[in-house]
Amino acid sequence: LPMCVCNHKAVVKAKNKAIEPSAGEIEVNPRARSAKLRVAVKL
């Protein structure tokens, strides 16, 4: 990746809470139990 020469610090903001799978999804796919989808917005 290219190096930033302007000394700008990347800033991200978490958007809402993590989304977890529904009970139906966990029943169909037990490995989904620990999955969490997190969303961030780059500022």
Q: What is the pLDDT of residues 1-43, one digit of tens each?
A: 677 788 878 788 888 889 999 999 999 999 999 999 999 888 8
pLDDT score recorded for residue 31? 95
Residue 21 makes CB contacts below 8 A (sequence gap 6+) with 29, 32, 33, 35
6 is a domain residue: no
pLDDT score recorded for residue 20? 95
5 is a domain residue: no
4 is a domain residue: no
33 is a domain residue: yes
* Interatomic CA distance for residues 32 and 22, integer angstroms: 9
pLDDT score recorded for residue 1? 64
Check: pTM over 0.85? Answer yes or no.
no
Q: Which domain holds residue 26?
A: 12-42
37 is a domain residue: yes
Give me the number of domains the chain comprises.
1
